[in-house]
Amino acid sequence: MTDTAAPTPASGADPADDVWEQIARQVAWLDHHNGAGEHESAMRLMKLSEGVGEVMRAYTGTTGHNPRKGVTHERSDVADELCDVVVTALVALHRFTDDPRAHLDRHLVRLTDRLGVRSGRPTFRQWLTAQNQPGRWNAATGVGTFHGPSALNRGTRTLTGWTTAEDLRPLLDDRHLLLLLDDAAQEYEHATTPRLAFRPAPTQETRP
């Protein structure tokens, strides 16, 4: 698939560059030469199917399954073709989102949360299950308060087959619970996402 992946500009790419910067240059190169219409979007998606075929062709070549050809490829050839598919997918991704990097990051979070393998971070369901603050009623003022995630936890205990907030959403048909879900999802992200610690800027010594 080497000759069918998104072409690299003639100037080449600096290996030290960020991956997304290299992809963005390839997208700009393709847009300049091929345009940016719907036909071009379809062609870039078609490249993915072509690329998967190249992967399987290379893999078959490593097994020698074709007795007439024998072993024609190495494992590194399969790796190269897989890389071509990844690049082609990232190039195509630019056609369907304004921020492909952020979109991929969010999608990876959803996938790893669904599997429960994100290091040190509970899944949304695990976090929600731990929310058990009772509601409070002030008899003097006649005003009650409740903890939204805890209320959502109590209202969804009988539901099965979900792990993430997005899994849970289509299972809810109560507008109140849907509003609680939106708030709980934000609180979950705030509570479980590591925050960067910034060092204070060094102070400059005042010269006399």
Tens-place pLDDT, residues 91-114:
999 999 999 988 888 888 777 767
- Full-model pTM: 0.55
**Cβ proximity of 90 and 97 under 8 Å:** no
The answer on pLDDT for 45 being more than 80 is: yes
Residue type, 15: P
Q: What is the pLDDT of residues 106-151, one digit of tens each?
A: 888 777 767 766 667 788 888 999 998 887 666 666 665 678 899 9
The answer on pLDDT for 79 being more than 70 is: yes
Q: What is the pLDDT of residues 160-194, one digit of tens each?
A: 888 889 889 999 999 999 999 999 999 998 888 76
Taking the alpha carbons at both ends of the chain, their separation in whole angstroms is 67
**What whole-number distance in Å separates Cα of residue 128 and Cα of residue 190?**
13
